Structure 1
Amino acid sequence: MAAQTKQELLALTKSEYRKLRDLIAGIPETVAAETGDDGISIKDTIAQRAHWVELLLKWYEDGKAGRVVHKPAAGHKWTDLKTYNAKVRKDSRARGWDEVKAELEAAHERLVTLVTESEESALYGKRLYDWMEDWTLGRWAEATGASHYRSARKAIRQILKEHSGAA
């Protein structure tokens, strides 16, 4: 069930992140770099999730500053997500596993700070900026935070299962 309040959002975001962090904590870099049947690795998955949290934070900052918000990113459309996400994963491949995990940690902390510092009305009142369309800031934060953390765990467990026969 989707969070309806700031406290629910904070609790959900922190809980889902903790579960993801615990899942990846003991995964060595060699395993994190192995790809699943879809060609995506655990490291790719984590890098992509960190990137999307950072995208939300950029959208928010750009909207707040009155700048144009490019969703999902400049030169890309929502219908182009498969190609866009492939580029994000490719761009992250040169970075090490520890660096990618640190990027996720930093992005998560910035997301928690945004939620913590936002008023309830800013999170779940009417949308603040046009870029939000029909979603509130809280809904965007949940989609790029807790929901993405949850889907990352599912993808990672699948990769681990493909490589070991169990997850």
Structure 2
Amino acid sequence: MAATTREELIRITQKDYDKLIKLIEPLSESQTLIKDDGDTSIKDVIAHRAHWIELFLGWYADGQAGKEVHFPAKGYKWTDLKRYNADLRARQTDLDWAGAVSALEAAFDRLSSFIAAKTDADLYGGPMKSANNHWTPGRWAEAAGPSHFRSAAKYIRARLREMR
């Protein structure tokens, strides 16, 4: 069930982030770099989650400023997500495990600060500007943060089972 208040969003964002961090803390860099059949590693997933938080924050800021918002990014449509994510992995290929974790920590801090600075009305009072759908900024924040943290944890647990 999606959060509907700032306090709920703060709580689930912290809870799901903490679970993800607890899961990845004991991992060795070598474990995180092993690619799956889809050419994706644990490191790639963590770096991806950090990137998508930054995308959300950019969408929000651009919408608030009255700028054109590119979903998910300039030159891509939602139907291009596989290509976008593959291109993202290619751009992040030189990023090491420590860099991916650092990026996630920084993105989490920015997302947490964003949420803390908003009111219930800011987050849930209406659709996010320029999003071209009915999702509120709070719902977008949840998709970029806690929902992504949960899916990352699910992926990592499955990968660790495969590695045993």
1:14 and 1:132 map into 2 onto residues whose CA distance is: 28
Q: Contact 1:122–1:128 at 8 Å: present in 2 too?
A: no
TM-score when scaled to structure 1? 0.95
Ranges in structure 2 where 5+ consecutive residues have no aligned partner = none
Could you tell me the TM-score, scaled by structure 2's length? Answer: 0.97
Offset of residue 6 of structure 1? 0.5
Deviation at 1:127?
Answer: 1.7
Question: Once superposed, which parts of structure 1, at least 4 consecutive aligned residues long, lie more than 3 Å away?
Answer: none
Gaps of 5+ in 1: none
Question: 1:89: which partner in 2?
Answer: 89
CA separation in 1, counterparts of 2:61 and 2:150? 25
Residue of structure 2 equivalent to 1:63: 63
**d(CA) in 2 for partners of 1:30, 1:73:** 31
Distance, in Å, in 2 between the alignment partners of 1:114 and 1:151 is: 22
Aligned mates of 2:95, 2:115 — CA distance in 1: 28
- Alignment size in residue pairs: 164
Give the superposed CA RMSD.
1.0
2:115 aligns to what?
A: 115
Q: Is the CA contact (8 Å cut-off) linking 2:128 and 2:134 kept in structure 1?
A: no
Q: 1:119 Cα deviation (Å)?
A: 1.1
Cα deviation, 1:22-42, whole Å, max 9, x if unaligned, reads 111111111100012332100
Name the CA distance, whole Å, in 1 between partners of 2:37 and 2:133.
Answer: 35
Question: What residue in structure 2 maps to residue 26 of structure 1?
Answer: 26
2:131 counterpart SS class = helix
Over 3 Å counting, the alpha-carbon distance change for 1:128 and 1:72 in structure 2 is: closer
For 1:126, the equivalent position in structure 2 comes to: 126
| CA shift for structure 1 position 86 | 1.0
Letter in 2 for 1:113: S
Kindly state the Cα deviation for residue 126 of structure 1 after the two structures are TM-superposed: 1.2
Structure 2 CA distance for partners of 1:128 and 1:86, relative to 1, 3 Å: closer
The share of aligned pairs that are identical, in percent, is 47
Partner Cα separation in structure 2 for residue 13 and residue 73 of structure 1 = 24
Deviating more after overlay: 10-19 vs 84-93: 84-93
Whole-angstrom distance in 2 between the partners of 1:132 and 1:120? 21
The answer to whether structure 1 residue 138 and structure 2 residue 138 are counterparts is yes
Q: CA deviation at 1:64?
A: 1.4
CA contact (8 A) 2:128 2:135 kept: no
Q: Structure 1's 32 and 129: CA in aligned 2 closer, same or farther, altered over 3 A?
A: same
User: In the TM superposition, what is the alpha-carbon distance from 1:130 to its structure 2 partner?
Assistant: 2.6
Give 1:97 deviation, angstroms: 0.5
Paired with 1:132 and 1:153, the residues of 2 have a C-alpha distance of 30
